[in-house]
Structure formats: C-alpha cells, structure tokens
Amino acid sequence: MSGYDGPAMARHFLSVDDLDTPELSTLLDRSAAVKASPRDVADRLAGTAVAMIFEKPSTRTRVSFEVAISSTGGHPLALSSAELQLGRGETIEDTGRVLSRYVDAIVLRTFGQDRLEGLARTATVPIVNALSDLEHPCQCLADLLTIREHKGNLAGLVFAYVGDGNNVAHSLLLGGAKMGMAVRVATPPGYEPIPQVVERAAEIGRTTGGSVEVLHDPATACSGADVLYTDVWASMGQEAETAERARVFGPYRIDQAAVDLAKPDCIVLHCLPAHRGQEITDEVIDGPHSVVWDQAENRLHTQKALLLWLMDRD
C-alpha cells in the first residue's frame, strides 16, 4: 500500500491552472487563516512524511517547505537527485512508483515540466511543483496572498511584471487572470512568455474580468500600476547568457523612475534572489513600496495551506 491514505488518484499541483478561481480564492483564504493562527494546524500533518527532491539549488523553497512540513507535524525528507537513483538513471516514473510506497506527498524542484508530469503519472500521492522551467506556482500563491494583504482585494488591480518572460511570469499570468487582475508583462523582444500560456491566461481572463497584455515598453506597463513585479534576468541554467541578458534587459529595471510611473500607493514585489542594481535597485527593494520580505515569508504560509489541502488534512 502507498503511504498516502487518500484517493488512489491523488490531487497534484503542477500548475496554477490546476486550480479554478474558487479553489484558488479558498486556498488564499486558508493561507491567511494559517498565517494568523499557526498553532491551529500544528499537528495536522502528524504521522506523515513528505519527500522534497531538489534538482536545482534552493533557499526559500527548501527552507519554507521544510519548516511548513515540520511545523504542521510532518516529517520532511530533503533529497537531491544525486542522493537518489535518479542520479544513476532510474526513471522519474519509477521513482514516483517507489516513493509513493513510503511517503505521503512529493515536492519536486526540477528543470523540465515533463519530469513533474512523468512523476504525477505514476505516483499515487500528491505531487507539488516547487519550480520548473515552465512555472513556479507555489511562488504565485505567496505573491497573490501578499498583494491581497496589502491591497485588500485582487480583482481589478493593474499588475505590471517587468523583465524576463520566464516561469514566474507564466504562473503570474495564469494566477492574475484567474483572480480578475489586469496583467501587463513587459519584456525585451524575443523574451516574451510562451504563446500558449499567454493565450490560456487571456482565455481565463475573459471569464473572470481579468486581462492580459504583453508589451515591450516597460514605462507603458508600469504606468498607473497597482503592483510592480520583477525577477532575475538570467534564471538557473541560463548562466552562460548573463552578460548578453544584462545588456538587453538594461531598460527593464524596477527603479525609482518606474515606481514614480505607478500609482502613489503601489507595492513592489520580487520573488528573490535579487541581483541588486540589475533588475531592481537598492532604493526600491529597501524602500517604502517594497513588500518583498512579506512576500518571502508568505511562501511558508501558502505552502502549509497547500499541503494540508492536497493531503486532505485541511
């Protein structure tokens, strides 16, 4: 038997699009409640074990998940692919079959989305995308919670993402559209989010009152925005492109001039790690509009709520 005592077909969280709008809203409500009263969930995962497989380096994701699991009574198992037979050629599908006999959920931070999908095909326990090249859905949960905390609502807000059309941008497009936000993404030509994600986000927005716009002018994106967001210009695995990206992305920086274009009460987010002086300046990340540290903290609370929901311990 599997270590997971829930349904044979487990619920997974591989993409923000795995949640419909009511589910996403409920999960944010639950995250806020967990944050307000952490003692109420201190033993909800008692008797469970959660495998955390990291094929990419991690600070916030590893620490927040490990603390989320242990502080709700579960046992976290932090593993690298080098420590598993994955490093010697065992397939991700076979790994899913085996680990499902030992643990109650699996958190995977990896490169290709296909690895998560392969794991989910054979695992009988919930699989969580802790970052892939396509999406970073757990980060999006924390981002939405942070915005809601500081703005009181999400629907109708103008959200401006400036920088690389990467995995973080993909999740924010989907999550922002689901919550009825007007999402603007400004990137250099050739660095836009992939068309399939943009089209799906636009489709979602047509049912929620949200909207999606992909631009090349950062000033247009920032103008009148309620929320400004940026991320590193070169993600993990793109280190060889760092110098070229620094040249191309120079105008796509959240600095005081960008903040001045936004609404006077705008908030600024960055999923971290930040390369200060590149995609964001010191005066902004350390300034009065920054909610970056609240955003980082909220990874803990949203991941607690997510695991409780996926494992039917809510």
Quick check: is 39 catalytic? no
Quick check: is 140 catalytic? no
Quick check: is 136 catalytic? yes
Query: Cα–Cα distance between 2 and 304 in angstroms, integer?
Result: 22
Which residue in 104, 133, 139, 184 is the catalytic one? 139
Query: Cα–Cα distance between 193 and 186 in angstroms, integer?
Result: 10
Which residue in 271, 278, 289, 313 is the catalytic one? 271
Q: Can you point out the beta strands (E) in the chain?
A: 49-54, 75-80, 105-109, 127-129, 158-162, 182-186, 211-215, 227-230, 267-270
Which residue in 170, 184, 289, 299 is the catalytic one? 299
Which residue in 231, 270, 295, 301 is the catalytic one? 231
Nearest to 180 by CA among 213, 203, 145, 209: 209
Three-class DSSP category at 99:
helix
Quick check: is 139 catalytic? yes
Quick check: is 85 catalytic? no
Quick check: is 271 catalytic? yes
Residue 193 is classified by DSSP as P
Q: Is the dihedral of CA 254, 256, 258, 264 positive or negative?
A: positive
Which residue in 12, 60, 109, 270 is the catalytic one? 109
Q: Active-site positions? A: 109, 136, 139, 231, 271, 299
